[in-house]
Amino acid sequence: MQIQPRQRILDIWRATIRMSYPDGDWQFGGRDGANSISDAEQLLCIIAPATEIPLFRLDNPDAANRDVLDALSGLGDDIQVPQRLIKAINTYLDTYTDKDGTPRFSGGSYFRAGGVDNGISDEQRRLDVVDSFSISVTLMLAVVGFTRVFRQIVSRPALLGEVDRLEAAASKRLSAAMVGLLRSFTVNVFSADDDFGRELVRLVNQERRPTRMVVDELREALREINARLRDDVTIGSGAAEGSELDLPNRLFECGWSWGIVREAPQIETSDVGTQGPGAAQNAPYLYFTTVACDAIQALSSERTRLLGLLDEAQLKLAQALQLRFELTRSYWAVIATFGGGRWPLEDLPWRTTDGIEFDYFTLLVGGMVMQNMIATRASDADLRRVGSVLEELANRSRITRRSSERESALDVHHPGLRFPLEGSDSAGGPRLSWTVADLSPLLLKRTLTVAGLLNDGTVRSRLLDLSDDMWKHLEGRIIGDGLPEGLWDQPGRTYPQLDVKFTDASWYFTKRVVDCLVTAARIINEDPLSSDLLADIAADLLNEAEHLYDRERLNNSTYSGQSLGEQLNQIGVDLERARTVRRERPGVAVAVTEEVLRKLDRLSAARRAHSGAY
């Protein structure tokens, strides 16, 4: 792997501090202006690596690495860095909390109307959006974990009070974000004979079989998910459709809408402020479903459990969200891999039930399929099929294949894919839209994830090579001059046909590149693949080496000299090392044992020369 996550993350930190802390005070805002999502992305460019990768930790300055602190020297010394980060996070929490103490999760400047932000009413800008709920879950979990560790080394009462205030505010926003996700979940039920049903059947019917047969098989494949949605989803939105799920000839889809759905019930929980009415369409959006699933995974992560980041009320909310995550993940995995021949996922591009098709949707669904494969411990054969889809996506989106002209495939990079937010006009004003342009970093992250799951060394190597090609593509899009130098995104550097140049950093894009680097660091920290063939070779070499070692010890006199005794002792240590690592690192065992055999051969030759036996 040619990606160097340590050095790249440190470079991003230096550039982020240069942009965010120019005059002794944290400045929010980037290419898309300040809002609850972009500002969280800006903070996560630093907080995410600091809490997810041990070598970047900042919660204990005494244990922090020197190069890590040097990269953040723009914030001050090793004592000032965590304190000023705490101040910046407190500013974020204060900014996006109403006067009555209710956390706000508005889309703000990320909302568009017809591709621009003109004509949008203030009430529309204040609409809650799932992207804000999701990123708040990620950021607040990181912040609460940071404060839990940092508190242990704080001695000044004033600073301790600030840490306590931060943790309380972060915990409240975390609870409110979880409530928002529960109220944004939706189950869309429809007849197999209407437009939605026909699109879904067309998608899964890759073998072109009779429609009625496909509908019956699909209902059977979804029977357990159907039952759990009907019986187990009892709080928040998505539960009211249970009776319709029982009707014959009914199909459904589940996931997250773009915001709190219309008529979503309020949730009884600890104080999270006012739970406002919903405006979003009661139907799932693939993009928002994906970001919600990624955030919910963090609620059940090992770090969350070990540090005890959730209180009793939050554990209850997390359990309800985990149920929805599992059902959603399983649903889309069934749809994407339905049938005995070509998977619907392999029929690019993915087509939604409302008739819209994009390669980007294939990537989103592929991510949920991968999450399900992790849970079910899928075979290498299935992982290879997903890997082949990712390779094809890299080609089709002109990441690994050259584009010589201005073509539609480049639109996914700039200006990005835009989709309408149905129901947003009910707040007064035009119908809003949402733009996504993160295919490149998201594709790299998914490719790294699949490579990390594979046990087949050949396929794993091919996907890691593909990851290197994608990283070269992303490197080419780094802003190369001005204050945001070293951050993203400048697509015109890779695609001159786009004829666009930005002067501000996109925290939206940069944060997703950081996610890729965090994923790469995790894979590098894992143990290498263990080869059964190498393990067998290592065992045979060890058998021979141990026999020759025993013979040398038998045939050499105890009066042969101190040097020979030291050599034999060192050989014994090397053999023990080879035996210890043979199963986990057979290649290392082979290398160590081969060196031992060379030493033993030299000792044997020297002994025979001394005795005159040739």
pLDDT in tens, 108-125: 999 998 766 678 999 999
- Tell me: pLDDT of 557 over 70: no
- Among 70-79, 185-194, 505-514, 526-535, whose mean pLDDT is lowest? 526-535
The pLDDT value given to residue 245 = 81
Query: Number of C-alpha atoms within 13 angstroms, CB side, residue 173?
Result: 33
- Tell me: pLDDT of 614 over 50: no
Q: For residue 205, what pLDDT band results from cuts at 50, 70 and 90?
A: very high
Query: Number of C-alpha atoms within 13 angstroms, CB side, residue 196?
Result: 11
pLDDT in tens, 234-253: 777 776 445 678 888 899 99
- Tell me: pLDDT of 94 over 60: yes
Q: Is 271 exposed, middle or buried (0-12, 13-18, 19+ CB in 10 A)?
A: exposed
- Among 81-85, 393-397, 455-459, 469-473, whose mean pLDDT is lowest? 455-459
Contact by Cβ (8 Å): 362, 393: yes
The pLDDT value given to residue 106 = 96
Instruction: Read off the tokens for 92.
Output: 């974020």
- Among 183-197, 252-266, 548-562, whose mean pLDDT is lowest? 548-562
Q: What angle do helix axes 5-20 and 38-52 make, rounded to 10 degrees?
A: 140
Residues 81, 58: Cα–Cα separation, whole Å: 8
Segment 382-405 mean pLDDT: 92
The closest of 291, 267, 265, 290 to 277, measured between CA atoms, is 265
Q: For residue 562, what pLDDT band results from cuts at 50, 70 and 90?
A: low
Mean pLDDT of the chain: 91
The pLDDT value given to residue 240 = 47
- Tell me: pLDDT of 207 over 50: yes
CA 272, 273, 275, 280 torsion: positive or negative?
A: negative
Residues 516, 520: Cα–Cα separation, whole Å: 6
Contacts of 274 (CB under 8 A, 6+ apart): 98, 100, 102
The pLDDT value given to residue 271 = 81
Query: Number of C-alpha atoms within 13 angstroms, CB side, residue 133?
Result: 30
Percentage above 70 pLDDT, the chain: 97
Contact by Cβ (8 Å): 64, 72: no
- Tell me: pLDDT of 573 over 70: yes
CA distances for 399 relative to 290, 357, 389, 561, angstroms: 22, 19, 14, 65
| CATH, range 5-192+218-525 | 1.50.10
pLDDT in tens, 403-462: 877 788 898 999 999 999 999 998 888 999 999 999 999 999 999 999 999 988 889 999
Look at residue 350 and give its three-state secondary structure.
Answer: strand
Q: Name the H helices within 195-249.
A: 195-204, 211-221, 223-231, 242-245
The closest of 575, 577, 580 to 597, measured between CA atoms, is 575
Segment 169-177 mean pLDDT: 97
The pLDDT value given to residue 305 = 92
Higher-scoring residue by pLDDT: 271, 592:
592
Residues 43, 136: Cα–Cα separation, whole Å: 11
The pLDDT value given to residue 613 = 52
Percentage above 90 pLDDT, the chain: 71
In the chain, list all ranges with CATH 1.50.10.
5-192+218-525
pLDDT in tens, 309-333: 999 999 999 999 999 999 999 999 9
- DSSP label of 502: -
The closest of 196, 472, 230 to 327, measured between CA atoms, is 230
Look at residue 418 and give its three-state secondary structure.
Answer: strand
Segment 40-51 mean pLDDT: 97
Instruction: Read off the tokens for 533.
Output: 């063939």
The pLDDT value given to residue 560 = 58
The pLDDT value given to residue 611 = 63
Look at residue 414 and give its three-state secondary structure.
Answer: coil
